[in-house]
A and B are shown apart, each in its own frame.
Chain A
Amino acid sequence: MINIPSTFKISFRALRVNKMRSALTMLGIIIGVGSVITMLAVGAGASRKISEFISSIGGNILMVLPGTTTSSGVRMGAGTQSTLTLSDAEAIKRDCPAAQDVAPVLGGVAQVAYGNQNWSTGVTGTTPDMLSGRDWKLSSGRPFTDQDVKGATKVCLLGQTVVDNLFGDTDPVGQVVRIKRIPFVVYGVLDRKGQSPSGQDQDDTIFVPITAAQKILFGTAFPGMVRIIYVKARSEQDLPLAEDQITELLRQRHRIGPRQENNFTVRNLTQILQASEQSAKLMTMLLGAIASVSLLVGGIGIMNIMLVSVTERTREIGIRMAVGAKTWDIRLQFIIEALTLSLIGGIAGIVLGISGSEILSALAGWPTAVSVLSIFLAFTFSGIVGIFFGFYPAYKASLLNPIDALRYE
């Protein structure tokens, strides 16, 4: 009969006797588990940031940018007649069936004031489609309408950061803020969106009707100029279709001949982000795999020490066998020793991994996310390493001949 609690006691004692050796052996596992957790946290942090941003901009988004050509190197800058206009946006909405929401944007940085508070923020002139396209809800108030866009009404929607900085506890809806000293009525407050992957605060923004931005706030080189047009396709499958429809439409509208380069660029934002999310995931796996190698090396360290230990303690094994220890009593003793080394090392490694990730976030500013799954995996893996690498030395010990073991010097 095998007495598990006593076997544990025996193992702990043996490990305590050789404190330095046990600690160094554990170090291998500590570093292994620690680096697995840290690397997975770095990778997971990166891909989480990206997917958070994908969901914050809303899915199936195309970006139409003016004046940049992709291949010839000739760049038609802003201010030329080839630049995108509000009517381009309206045409896309009208003539491209695959486009669901079309939000032209013209913005800039402006000083905003309310009462005695003021704040510098990005003011984005756009249309109501911006909200539906980016799946951006209002936390209070109401959005501005197409009528407001037509009439260039001086109304606005405030991001949470702007509200926090200007209003404090006051309800901003219905109040009047001054953007570049021009009074705008606050129609509503936007929901919180958080940071973009580049660390930009997406809530530090004000939406105004695009016409107001063009005519009142920023002025334009020519009437109706917009900086970017965001287009949301009806579905993921419609993305390439929408891209084609927009390209064809804009080539017609801009009168670009069959052999001429486009004077605009259509970018599939979602695809780009999904690709980078994919590569972040791949990176996570790669980092994890590299870190696992160090865990494996730690396991070999355990096996090495256990083999030394079995040789050193041959006489002890002989004594135990003489007083009645059976094959599995001896095996279990050494397996539990190896397991104890690896599990204590594993726990210390988890602590190291979590603090390592925190330190990386704090010092290098990398987003990290320690997942429960990675902790569980690393711990289980270190346990398996302990059993796997402890088994051979334990097996070797259990095969000793008691007479020879007793005589061993």
Chain B
Amino acid sequence: MPLLEALEITKVYNLGDVAVNALDGVTVIMEKGEFIAIMGASGSGKSTFMNIIGCLDKPTGGSYLLEGIDVSMLDRDELAAIRGNKIGFVFQGFNLLSRTSALENVELPMLYSGVPAKERRERAFEALRKVGLEGRENHHTNQLSGGQQQRVAIARALVNDAPIILADEPTGNLDTRTSVEIMELFVRLNSESNITIIIVTHESDIAAYSQRVIKFQDGRIISDERKDE
């Protein structure tokens, strides 16, 4: 069973009397352990697609199966539960809670999946160690550098043992050197923990870290290439 199956996904936005087809029949199958880059210009539909596979949005048509479950049938709270347990998000703007410690940020997903306090703490420490932030657990996020903040976000994505990490332009706000560090961290997590990593980017040197590149244009997939190792 594939990890993720998007079959003939369409998404239509009604802007007044104009209907915009953001996605126009997208079919992709992703397997566990893949490292995928989704590329495309802005307006190509890549972000819409990412919102749908991230269960932040529902498709207008088609079906989306996550671990064999048809997600398009689920309600708001069921989607929230899937986001909490199956998907870790990493955003361009980090999206951490400000004036809150790194540790508490990482604990957040477990808070909503009902992990007991003691275990939450242990797992958050462990996740921060994995991303190389040992000793900074109690720093507030606004005291950390951009690269460190993104590491906190990655730790947060890891902490519930989600099989998928969805990263939307994760290096967009970082300098080149830090970008390399973050990408190497993704590569390491992919190879060591077999986590499926899906990165949305428009930079080809970021996409170069992946094993498979899917290109979007005008709401359709125009290419889907696997690198030969």
Cβ < 8 Å to A, chain B residues 71-111: 76-77, 80-81, 83-85, 89, 91, 95-97, 99-100, 108-109, 111
Please report whether the interface of chain B is mostly helix, strand, loop or mixed according to DSSP. helix
Q: A293 vs B120: C-alpha distance in the bound complex, in angstroms?
A: 45
Contact segment of A28-36, A239-247, A317-325: A317-325
Q: How far is the CB of A1 from chain B (nearest CB, A)?
A: 4
Q: A5 vs B118: C-alpha distance in the bound complex, in angstroms?
A: 13
By beta carbon, the residue of chain B nearest A409 is B93
Contacting residue for B117 out of A6, A17, A321, A326, CB 8 A: A6
A324 near B109 with CB under 8 A, answer yes
With A320-B112, A322-B56, A324-B113 in contact, do A17 and B83 touch (Cβ < 8 Å)?
no
With A13-B100, A403-B51, A403-B56 in contact, do A324 and B95 touch (Cβ < 8 Å)?
no
The answer to whether A3 has its CB under 8 Å from any CB of chain B is: yes
The answer to whether B135 has its CB under 8 Å from any CB of chain A is: no
Q: How far is the CB of B79 from chain A (nearest CB, A)?
A: 9
By beta carbon, the residue of chain A nearest B95 is A319
Q: A294-334 vs B: 1/0 string, CB under 8 Å?
A: 00000000000000000000011011111111111100000
B85 near A324 with CB under 8 A, answer yes
Task: Count B-side interface residues using an 8 Å CB cutoff.
Answer: 27
Q: How far is the CB of A13 from chain B (nearest CB, A)?
A: 7
Q: A13 vs B111: C-alpha distance in the bound complex, in angstroms?
A: 15
The answer to whether A216 has its CB under 8 Å from any CB of chain B is: no
The answer to whether B57 has its CB under 8 Å from any CB of chain A is: yes
Contacting residue for A316 out of B51, B56, B97, CB 8 A: B97
A327 near B76 with CB under 8 A, answer yes
Contacting residue for B83 out of A13, A316, A324, A329, CB 8 A: A324
B109 near A323 with CB under 8 A, answer yes
A402 near B56 with CB under 8 A, answer yes
Total number of residue pairs linking A and B with CB closer than 8 Å: 63
Q: A1-16 vs B: 1/0 string, CB under 8 Å?
A: 1010110001001000
B81 near A322 with CB under 8 A, answer no
Q: How far is the CB of A396 from chain B (nearest CB, A)?
A: 15
The answer to whether A249 has its CB under 8 Å from any CB of chain B is: no
By beta carbon, the residue of chain B nearest A5 is B117
Chain A interface (Cβ < 8 Å from any Cβ of B): 1, 3, 5-6, 10, 13, 17, 315-316, 318-329, 402-403, 406
Residue pairs across A and B with Cβ atoms less than 8 A apart, 25 shown, are A3-B111, A6-B111, A13-B100, A319-B95, A319-B96, A320-B108, A320-B112, A321-B80, A322-B54, A323-B83, A323-B89, A323-B112, A324-B81, A324-B83, A324-B109, A324-B113, A324-B160, A325-B80, A326-B76, A326-B80, A327-B76, A327-B77, A328-B77, A402-B56, A406-B91
Chain B interface (Cβ < 8 Å from any Cβ of A): 51, 54, 56-57, 76-77, 80-81, 83-85, 89, 91, 95-97, 99-100, 108-109, 111-114, 117, 156, 160
